[in-house]
Amino acid sequence: MNFQCISFICVISVMFCNEVFAQKNTAQNPIIYADVPDMSIIRVCDIYYMSSTTMHMSPGVPIMKSKDLVNWELVNYAYNKLGDIDELNLVNGKSTYGRGSWASSIRYHNNTYYVSTFAQTTGKTYIYTTKDIEKGPWVEHSFKPSYHDNSLFFDDDGRIYLIWGAGKLNIVELKEDLSNVKEGTEHVLIENASAPAIPVMLPAEGSQLFKVNGKYYLFNISWPRGGMRTVIIHRADNITGPWKGKVALQDKGVAQGGFVDTPDGRWFAYLFRDNGSVGRIPYLVPVKWEDGWPVLGVDGKVPESLDLPVSTGIIPGIVNNDEFKRKKGEPALPLVWQWNHNPENSLWSVNERKGFLRLKTGRVDSLFLKSRNTLTQRTFGPVCSGSALLDASNMKDGDFAGLVVLQLKFGQVGVKIVNGEKFVFMINNKTNIPTEIQSIPLLQDKVYLKIECDFRDKVDIAEFFYSLDGETWKTIGNQLKMEYKLEHFMGYRFGLFNYASKNPGGFADFDFFHITGHISE
């Protein structure tokens, strides 16, 4: 081999190494490989705040914070409880899976933070306000009807608007105190916002309105028949129109969101992608401006890497371990936790037994999905595992407690009590009929439980384990083929549960919950 060949190979090797190094030290899409749909983002000075959708979970409308658009942490929720009705409380056989509060809009105006959302469950539109987005308190303003996928907008003249709808988009002006809409101000904004992408299966919705350099820009998502989820942007010189629309991005089904600028003058669109059972996951797409229009993507494509800081992962900012040990003054539950529906607060505690989460039963439930006080965290990709140590010594006959991956097609591993005897069990709800796959006698009070989730290439498989000593793990039951079902409309979540099928009054103690980005291969 001559010197020129060696030099050429060296140059190519250096170029390849530099490319790999650059990719490892820049942000990668998806920005968050977890269920964070319907994002709305603002920048206040050099800090970004994002609101998102968690529907029937409580507390709701999570608020996240970032300094670089990549690394996010939960800092608050817009509300602790959406309402006090049967559907939200999981009582009288009712539930609100897949509903609750949907797509929110976050804004900052005159030193006040605003988050608007809506709920089919209550039939209301909500606007939450606070001076301190990280500490609160939040003030609730609500009124009927429920304005679908509304975008809150403060214009330069001080007028406040909501834009909402699907296909036909509407606008209405709000009263200054946000107590209701101004009568006689509702009218059609765009008769057919789907037109740039027709014919459609999903009409244009998910409105987010912005004003840049005196022009109005309205983002929507649509789904052309035979195509993929698509970003449509309309532009106007006046909020009343006329509006001109065009397809802004059509790649990988990455759609729905808006855009935000950085302190150094760059622009990024924030959008999400339906990604199987892990849920709807956020992407960032570079934006450049041409002839007064935002141009999304790199040559019309969603890039894998971005000129932004590398991600350090979603632990501990969005999900995290919990030893259930609380120091004086600390909240009972960190923000990474959300309850499946409104909790019954008299039936859980982290203080009755120091260092443990205690879940108590207060009624009899025939179905797990109807039981209360399941405490949840997101799963995340490409792979993850959740584990817990359960003390079952105070469970009663007919009780079921343990760890679940929660969606309509859920899977459980835990302990049940049958005629005074303990059994480790695995239940698979793949057929929508909870089916016990395996049950093993348990001759001790404590047992370690683990569920591993594989979301790579949408394999969407969960596997279930137990251990008697925390060292040696054994599989139990079978694999669950996880499915994202619209009846729940949410990516899979890990959950800690305890419910009674015969005799209320027992309790289960959880020593810890651990979450990692690793599974056994």
**Residue 521 pLDDT:** 82
pTM of the model: 0.94
Residue-wise pLDDT tens digits, 70-90: 999 999 999 999 999 999 999
Can you tell me the mean pLDDT for 39-58?
98
Is 515's pLDDT higher than 90? yes
Asked whether the predicted pLDDT for residue 104 surpasses 50, the reply is yes
pLDDT at 22: 46
Torsion of CA 217, 263, 314, 279, to 10 degrees: 10
Is omega for the bond preceding 199 within 30 degrees of 0, making it cis? yes
Cα–Cα distances in angstroms (integers) from residue 473 to residues 7, 108, 431, 467, 520, in the given order: 52, 50, 27, 5, 10
Whether pLDDT at 325 is above 80:
yes
391: left (phi over 0), alpha (psi -120 to 50) or beta: beta
pLDDT digits (tens, 9 = 90+) for 111-126: 999 999 999 999 999 9
For the stretch 256-299, pLDDT in tens is 999 999 999 999 999 999 999 999 999 999 999 999 999 999 99
Q: How many other C-beta atoms can be found within 10 angstroms of the C-beta atom of residue 125?
A: 26
What CA–CA distance (Å, rounded) separates 95 from 341? Answer: 8
- Whether the pLDDT of residue 20 is over 70: the answer is no
Cβ 74 vs Cβ 317: under 8 Å: yes
Per-residue model confidence as pLDDT tens digits over 429-455: 998 899 999 999 999 999 999 999 999
Which segment of 9-18, 195-204, 304-313, 458-467 scores lowest on mean pLDDT?
9-18
Which one-letter amino acid corresponds to residue 321? N
Q: What is the pLDDT of residue 1?
A: 47
**pLDDT band for position 19 (cuts 50, 70, 90):** very low
The Cα–Cα gap between 498 and 181 comes to: 44
Token duo for residue 282: 């956020």
> Is the pLDDT score of 15 beyond 50?
no
**pLDDT band per the 50, 70, 90 thresholds, residue 25:** confident
Mean pLDDT of 218-234: 96
Which tens digits make up the pLDDT trace of 128-159?
Answer: 999 999 999 999 999 999 999 999 999 999 99
Q: What is the rounded CA–CA span in Å between residue 322 and residue 317?
A: 13
Query: In this model, does residue 499 exceed pLDDT 80?
Result: yes
- Position 427 scores a pLDDT of 98
Predicted local distance difference test score (pLDDT) of residue 333: 98
Where residue 7 falls among pLDDT bands split at 50, 70, 90? very low
pLDDT at 312 over 60: yes
Sequence-distant (6+) residues with CB within 8 A of 250 are 227, 228, 230, 231, 300
Helices (H), 63-150: 86-89
pLDDT, average across residues 309-334:
97
pLDDT for 3: 38
Tokens of 347: 């039936």
Q: How far apart are CA 427 and CA 434, in angstroms?
A: 6
Q: Which of 398, 399, 395 is nearest to 445 (CA)?
A: 395
d(CA 300, CA 521): 37
What domains, with CATH codes, occur in the chain? 27-306 (2.115.10.20), 338-516 (2.60.120.200)
pLDDT (tens digit per residue) in 360-380: 999 999 999 999 999 999 999
What pLDDT was estimated at residue 13? 43
* Of 37, 13, 15, nearest in space to 280 by CA: 37
Query: Which of 163, 147, 165 shows the shortest CA–CA distance to 155?
Result: 163
Give percent of the chain with pLDDT exceeding 90: 94
Please report the pLDDT score of residue 432 as a whole number: 86
Q: Which two tokens stand for residue 370?
A: 């109807």
Out of 19-28, 37-46, 101-110, pick the least confident: 19-28
